[in-house]
Amino acid sequence: MNDAAAPQLVEYGCVDRIATLTLNRPEKLNAFNDDLVRHLAEALRRFDLDPEAEVAILCGAGRAFSSGADVHQRQLRRREEFLQHGGPQGWGANSADLFTRAVNWKPVIAASHGYAMGLALGIVLECDLIVAAAGTKFQITETSRGLGGSRYWAPLNFRGAGAFAAEMALTGRFFTAEEALAAGVINRVAAAGQHLAAARELAAQIVQNPPLSVRAAVRTRRWYMEVITREVAMQTAPLKLYLSEDFHEAARAFAEKRRPGPFKGR
């Protein structure tokens, strides 16, 4: 853990029964390295056990919610590391576990702005409600990186955006908050710079309800969300796409700021 006087990778605050968890790696556009995933897990655990908090808002400091996985750490590992970890994530830093290990099952609202790409898009989609600032851009970066878009096709499809989910997973193109709202993926689009205020307004409505009633709905929703995401993992894990030549070419090209390819299908 960081020294108490040092900046925290995830800042935690609570006012009026609403906790705010802020990703705090703005110099890297809140890119998720293993440490940031672990600190977010700890902050969510703190919220889950905080008797003063009933709803959480998850947001990002700086210019964006998050640019996604830290490519330099998580996608440029040695082959031996990929085999040891079973993928790009480090030990104890699997983002797929963030919302499935609760005790009290309190709701989390994602308040996104700027960008939410790849791993960060997955975290946003797994939150219980989503608010985005106007013009926020989302992307399944795993498609172009050679990892496949199935992991995030699942929660998009779970949210009822079937045709839209398929297009985003297969093209890997950017899509906007406005498109996501029209497809039923997110709950609110706020004016630029007002995403936190809009999320707090939504949270304030939730805290007016009996807490156990709210938590029952959260627990049910997350159960069914976890079922579909784990089914996808069972389908795709044996492919070990993180060991493919195409994946490593795409990751190196990103790090070297050049166009990837040609891809070889192996």
Top-ranked range on mean pLDDT: pick from 85-94, 109-118, 242-251:
109-118
Beta-bridge mates of residue 12: 21
- Kindly report whether the global pTM for this prediction surpasses the value 0.85: yes
Q: What's the rounded mean pLDDT across residues 49-68? A: 98
Q: Does domain 10-194+205-255 have CATH number 3.90.226.10?
A: yes
Q: Assess whether pLDDT exceeds 50 at residue 1.
A: no
Token representation of residue 212: 């156990």
Domain ranges of the chain: 10-194+205-255
Alpha helix ranges (H) inside 18-146: 34-49, 79-85, 119-126, 142-145
Give 33-51 pLDDT, tens digit per residue: 999 999 999 999 999 999 9
In the chain, the amino acid numbered 130 is: I
Torsions phi, psi for 187 (to 5 deg): -95, -35
